[in-house]
Amino acid sequence: MAVGLLRAVIMGPPGSGKGTISTRILKHFALKHLSSGDLLRDNMQKRTEVGVIAKSYIDQGQLIPDDIMTRLMLSELKTLNRYHWLLDGFPRTVPQAEALDKACEIGTVIDLDLPFETIKQRLTARWIHPASGRVYNLEFNPPKVPGTDDITGEPLVQRDDDKPETVVKRLKAYETQTKPVLDYYRKKGVLESFSGTETNMIWPPVHAFLQTKLPEASQKEAATQR
């Protein structure tokens, strides 16, 4: 195993701002970002063997079996051996975390910890006008009159996916699936939780924490040539 290279995982429920935080990390630090979802979509698009299998699970809203997922990620990680890296979307289960541990030692797990209510509010904020497809967000671009389309005055609706009961189900599923993984890393002493209600509150401590582990992007070349 390479010594001194960052081996990190980022975890956070849907709506936690994980995508935004990951983008900011990549902008500031020289490291490779490996997202299991992106890797699967890439395989599906290229119709690889794994891609074809993955599609059948994803279409049914199910997780890919651990052995397939682990093999895919570990073989991709081999190509990143010389770099600092951050995993996103993997591991999702304890067997995946255990398999990852056999290949390398995870030094840091960044856990984005937002109140359940905040996330629910964010995820249920989207309303649409079905006839035109106009999209409103109660937080960022609310309609002028609550519940009605600005142009036609017709009622707005929520997609099934965005309805509170569906959102709560998705969040609960994340919790049951992921809590054991968080507990696993907490026991190992590598879990770093960052709490807050807004991405702009959470980002500065994440940034400060990573500065203690990594050179800033201005030193990108030095970092990747190690």
Query: How far, in Å, CA of 43 to CA of 156, rounded?
Result: 37
User: Is 20 annotated among the ligand-binding residues?
Assistant: yes
Chain-centroid distance, C-alpha 46: 23
At closest approach, how far in Å is the CB of 69 from ligand AMP? 4
Query: How far, in Å, CA of 155 to CA of 147, rounded?
Result: 6
At closest approach, how far in Å is the CB of 206 from ligand AMP? 19
Interacting span for ligand AMP (CB under 6 A) from 86-94, 122-130, 174-182, 184-192: 86-94
Give 58 or 182: the residue with its C-beta nearer to ligand AMP.
58
Question: Is residue 47 annotated as a catalytic residue, yes or no?
Answer: no
Give 111 or 149: the residue with its C-beta nearer to ligand AMP.
111
Size of the site for ligand AMP (CB under 6 A): 13
79 Cβ contact list (under 8 Å, min separation 6): none
Tell whether residue 40 is a contact of ligand AMP (CB under 6 A). Answer: yes
Among 12, 15, 89, 196, binds ligand AMP (CB under 6 A): 89
- For 42-50, which contacts have Cβ atoms below 8 Å and span 24 or more sequence positions? 43/72
Q: How far is CA 171 from CA 97, 167, 225, in A?
A: 21, 6, 40
Does residue 32 sit in helix, strand or coil? strand
Helix orientation angle between 49-59 and 36-45, rounded to the nearest 10 degrees: 110
Tell whether residue 69 is a contact of ligand AMP (CB under 6 A). Answer: yes
Give 30 or 72: the residue with its C-beta nearer to ligand AMP.
72
Q: Which residues are 86's β-sheet partners?
A: 8, 33
Question: Is residue 82 annotated as a catalytic residue, yes or no?
Answer: no
At closest approach, how far in Å is the CB of 39 from ligand AMP? 8
Single out the catalytic residue among 71, 159, 179, 220.
159
Tell whether residue 92 is a contact of ligand AMP (CB under 6 A). Answer: yes
Does residue 89 sit in helix, strand or coil? coil
For residue 178, count other CB atoms closer than 10 A to its CB: 17
Tell whether residue 58 is a contact of ligand AMP (CB under 6 A). Answer: yes
Query: How far, in Å, CA of 216 to CA of 120, rounded?
Result: 34
Query: How far, in Å, CA of 50 to CA of 59, rounded?
Result: 14
Tell whether residue 64 is a contact of ligand AMP (CB under 6 A). Answer: yes
Interacting span for ligand AMP (CB under 6 A) from 59-67, 127-135, 171-179, 203-211: 59-67
Tell whether residue 21 is a contact of ligand AMP (CB under 6 A). Answer: no
The residues of the shown chain that bind ligand AMP, judged by CB under 6 A, are 36-37, 40, 57-58, 62-64, 69, 89-90, 92, 96
Q: Catalytic positions, please?
A: 18, 92, 126, 159, 170
